[in-house]
Structure 1
Amino acid sequence: MLQFVSLPQEMPEKRAVAERRADFGEIYRAFAVERAEQQASRCSQCGIPFCSIHCPLGNNIPDWLKLTAENRLEEAYVVSAATNTFPEVCGRICPQDRLCEGNCVIEKGFESVTIGAVEKFITETAFEKGWVKPNLPQRERSQSVGIVGAGPAGLAAAERLRALGYQVHVYDRHDRVGGLMVYGIPSFKLEKHVVSRRHALLEEQGIVFHLSTPIGAAPGETPLEELRARHDAVFVGTGVYRSREVRVPGVGLGGVVPAIDFLTASNRRGYHEEPGDDAHLHARGKRVVVIGGGDTAMDCVRTSIRQGAETVTCLYRRDRANMPGSLQEVTNAEEEGVQFTWLSTPEAFLGDVDVTAVRAHRMRLSLPDASGRQSVEPVPESSFTVEADLVVKALGFDPEPLPEMWQADDLAVTRWGTLKVRPGHFETSLPGVFAGGDIVRGASLVVWAIRDGRDAAAEIHQWISARAEKNLEAAE
């Protein structure tokens, strides 16, 4: 260990720009064993590991780095999987530059350990060697839990509860398991076989999936009350799918589309599906403008490049240093030919029936707001125009109105529309109904959803156990 003084940071090799622009395959090649061991050996084995502290899952990162450096890869996988339900996903899509790697103590002067790449290497090796097995329960329990949503929060809760022996049923309105990991995140960041491989393991574990099964009060949907009657407890991990709007003239023109629609159509094509009349959701030959600066915006601009857009421009109201998305993603997008117009925001979409241009104006950074982040203000008389045939709104996501959709007036929500839970807990205002992930936090990271799912499973286990004990005492 402690090789950071003599060994430089080395990321896995990227595929050539021309090659990766032509398909949706992941852009990083795999580490060889020797290189993974070398990079893991750069860890300083801190007494207080800030990488673990800043990991939402509290992963024991120095431990599995040390085991990797010593070529004890099966043990490294066991340690990694002990705290993370989906290490193969986090190694690919976590913004390590803002979490573990960004807080690595050798970052100042020596560049951080490539934690994400080593995590991916460990897990892929484990799958290749057959070390990844379904986490079968030691004993079966009679109680059952219904999970609403097959995204990362729901799947993490399902895996933990099934490992404890509960009969777990997962309900999802979509036809595939994974939530936004399948239909939101492009394959060049997370190839879909990675999710389907984990889905197969969860089924081997005994989890029952009910796909294309929406929960709600509309005809053909399963009412929430029926779900509560069917199961001893319910966990809601539906995520947030309602796209935020940009309120400017022309927003209703043809060719102005939400990011989730654009990305879902693209990912469905990756499954060799025809999403229907989706020509308006394809960037081929078009001048594309993406509004926003988060990771979803980066997904949209890089998808547009791969679909053969004529030009791709990203408008964001702050500068490069203040954007919310991963800087690594910005770098990848720039390499692939995306043009960024920083400190700019749309003021109108132009066109008669279909959009033909975006009129925007310049912004400038001002004093910090209450959060400490610099606010922005418009620059007077600074309008300019960007030609566009397709405009993608990537301004983030809000929760759907679940109490209204589910006719559950007693299901309390916050002023932001997220489900209300007690601080530090996961039970909602409905007894026996728990929630976690984005539907509680608001739009956040996959790794936080996994953390919530695991923690909620522990609370559900305690709740069901306490009820069972109380019923036993009453019977006596």
Structure 2
Amino acid sequence: MAEKMLQFTKVERSMPAKRAADARATDFDEIYAEFSLKAAGAQAARCSQCGVPFCQQGCPLSNNIPDWLKLSAEGRLEEAWEVSSATNNMPEICGRICPQDRLCEGICTIEQSGHGTVTIGSVEKFITDTAWEKGWVKPIVPPRERAQSAGIIGAGPGGLAAAEQLRRKGYQVTVYDAYDRGGGLLVYGIPGFKLEKPVVARRIKHLEDSGIAFKFNTRVGQDVTLQELRKTHDTLLIATGVYQAKDLKCPGVGASGVYAALDYLTASNRKSFGDAVEEFDDGTLNADGKRVVVIGGGDTAMDCVRTAIRQGAKSVTCLYRRDRANMPGSQREVANAEEEGVVFEWLASPEAILDTKAGKVKAVRAAKMKLGEADASGRQSPVKTGETMDVKADMVIKALGFDPEDLPVLFGEPALTVNRWGAVRVDYATMETSLSGVYAAGDIVRGASLVVWAIKDGRDAAEAMHKAMKAADKAAKVAAE
């Protein structure tokens, strides 16, 4: 191991080559090139093989990161992929979009020692992309088929992870989704420059080839009731995600030209599939030639500003009420946005949307802020300084986060209990809801969060569903004897 690992004092940290900003800002292709086998191995060999691997503790999935880094450094890529995929249903996706700087890489031991973190995400992506290329990823063949079935409501990362885990145990799995494609926000919320859509489509096809059935364009509560699904399947999982945009509370928010982030991103992503999108085609949700202001500081805001750049916006400004150090989004995404020409106005909180006599947005008036006392979360609360600024705008995008939709009403099931924020209540030991045999996972339980957390929840829920169905099957056999 000494020869292959612990190279962090000899080998500098490096990422795969990144395309120049002026070139990448004209298309929606991913911005990073692939690692070569040699480069991936060299970066993996920088791992210090800690006795207590903090990177693993920083990963919601508790991925065995040091193990697959060591295997990668030794050129044993197929084994590295097997270890990586044993705990993660979508390593090629997490390797692309996880905010590693806030998770595994952020607490890497050699990062803390000043040598620069191992580029964990890029190696993870390389391992799994190689696995797909080499044909190591094969359809699931369960050791035995079971008669019991599971219904999954939502084809996002949480639902897909649960579906795969249940299929591996031999259950008959059907996934229902309101959209016309699987993937949820992976396809309609995240732009291609972070996650190219064929990567998601490949994963969906793998699940279809594994015997999982998908029923798209199916809205629970409209096309089929929750009660009908409970009768159809032995168990159900609610993994719908959260899609209701948090609104901006200030005068003028109803002006023409003010849009929700997801509406904007969905229109752009649909165009990447070649879909006809009327609101894009008529210019409404197209930033071309416009002065765009995006309000928010999370990863969705970064997706919006970088999408606007690629659509040919005249200017793109991001308003955020705290400073750069306190923003919730990935610092790597902020840096990428700055390279591509986005202007950030830190410590600026929208006070009003200014419009023309015709009701069309013309500017955002923002209050200048300073950081005051820490709030309950420990972050300093922004306080108005008394000064304001006007930022000219032809399009304003609200990227303030998402709230759960009212599922008890949408599903026609008042017995489904939710908390005060509208998220589905579960017993966290089992992920079961107030409805017997109905489980929930992902953002609809924890609120808007990361893909990797949704995958973890989906895996946990699938294990609980398996235990319940196994117990029910055993009880039925005993009763029949």
Q: What range describes the TM-score normalised by the shorter chain of this pair?
A: over 0.9
Out of 287, 309, 314, the position equivalent to 1:310 is 314
Equivalent residue, structure 1, for 2:264: 262
Matched with 2:105 is 101
1:233-273 per-position Cα deviation (integer Å, ceiling 9, x unaligned): 00010000000001101111111000000000000000011
Q: Corresponding residue for 2:145?
A: 140
For 2:461 and 2:213, the matched residues in 1 are separated by 19
After TM superposition, give the deviation of residue 376 of structure 1 in Å. 1.3
Give me the whole-angstrom Cα distance separating, in 2, the residues matched to 1:96 and 1:323: 16
Residue 175, structure 1, aligned to residue 177, structure 2? no
Are 1:292 and 2:296 an aligned pair? yes
CA distance in 2, matches of 1:346, 1:425: 42
CA displacement, residues 407-443 of structure 1 (integer Å, 9 cap, x when unaligned): 1000000000000001333100000100000000000
Q: Could you say which residue in structure 2 is the equivalent of 1:363?
A: 369
SS of 1:375's equivalent?
strand
- Give the secondary structure class of the aligned counterpart of 2:55: helix
**Map of 1:115 onto structure 2:** 120
- Give the fraction of aligned pairs with identical amino acids, expressed as a percent: 61
* Deviation (angstroms), 1:112: 0.3
Q: 1:333 Cα deviation (Å)? A: 0.2
Q: Which runs of 5+ in 1 are unaligned?
A: none
| 3-state secondary structure, aligned to 1:378 | strand
Deviation at 1:100, TM superposition (A): 0.4
Q: Is the 8 A contact 2:323 2:347 kept in 1?
A: yes
8 A contact 2:157–2:451 mirrored in 1: yes
Unaligned residue ranges in structure 2 (runs of 5+): none
In structure 2, the partner of 1:74 is 78
Matching of residue 192 in structure 1 with residue 194 in structure 2: no
Trace 1:34-433 onto structure 2 (pairs within 5 A): 34-108=38-112, 109-216=114-221, 218=222, 221-278=223-280, 279-351=283-355, 352=357, 353-380=359-386, 382-433=387-438
**Cα-to-partner distance string for 1:161-182 (whole Å, 9 max, x where unaligned):** 0110000000001000000000
One-letter code aligned to 2:260? P
Distance 1:346 1:452 in 2: 35
| Residue correspondence of structure 1 range 447-462 to structure 2 within 5 A | 447-462=452-467
- For residues 47-101 of structure 1, the C-alpha deviation after alignment (integer angstroms, 9 at most, x for no partner) is 0000001100000000000000000001000000000000000000000000000
Q: What code does the residue aligned with 2:365 have?
A: R
Structure 2 distance, partners of 1:58, 1:416, is 28
The separation in 1 between residues aligned to 2:369 and 2:413, in whole angstroms, is: 43
Q: Distance in 2 between matches of 1:374 and 1:105?
A: 28
Paired residues in the alignment total 472
Aligned to 1:474: 479
Partner of residue 33, structure 2: 29
CA distance in structure 2 between the partners assigned to 1:432 and 1:276 by the alignment = 41
Please report how far the alpha carbon of residue 280 of structure 1 lies from its aligned counterpart in structure 2 after TM superposition: 1.5
Contact 2:354 2:362 in 1 (8 A): yes
Q: TM-score, normalised by structure 2?
A: 0.97
TM-aligned CA deviation for residue 134 of structure 1: 1.6
Once the two structures are TM-superposed, the CA of residue 135 in structure 1 deviates from its matched residue by 2.1
CA offset digits 1:303-344 (Å, max 9, x no partner)? 000000000000000000000000000000000000000000
Aligned-partner Cα distance in 2 for 1:374–1:349: 26
Counterpart CA distance in 2 for 1:135 and 1:367 is 53
Aligned to 1:465: 470
Aligned residue for 2:405, secondary structure, equals coil
Give the letter aligned to residue 477 of structure 2: L
Over the aligned positions, Cα root-mean-square deviation in angstroms equals 0.8
Q: Is the contact made by 2:152 and 2:176 (CA closer than 8 Å) also made in structure 1? A: yes
Distance 1:290 1:204 in 2: 40
